[in-house]
Amino acid sequence: MLLAEVFTPDNAVETGFLDLVVAESELMPTAIAFAQSLSNLNAGAHSASKKRLRADVLAAIREGLAKDFIGWEKQFV
């Protein structure tokens, strides 16, 4: 999308835009199996890992929002 490049299902998987491509007849069984595999994750550890991986991005977003708010407040209040 960024470069207006057209991807096929196969090269979309290769480039990481898609995780998996399956035949339509295998869609629901594959989705159910994947969902079941996720239910085996340790939810607390999974959540902590995601928060740790995203901490810098979340901090930058919060900082940017705070700066935006100051600017909006000066302009509109």
* pLDDT of the residue at 73: 86
- Model's pTM, two decimal places? 0.52
1 falls in which pLDDT band (50, 70, 90)?
low
Mean pLDDT along residues 50-77: 92
Q: What is the pLDDT of residues 20-50, one digit of tens each?
A: 999 999 999 999 999 999 888 999 999 999 9
Return d(Cα 8, Cα 25) in angstroms, integer.
Answer: 19
Higher pLDDT, 54 or 75: 54
Instruction: With a cut of 90, say whether residue 65 has pLDDT above it.
Output: yes
Sign of the Cα pseudo-torsion (3, 6, 11, 13, in order): positive
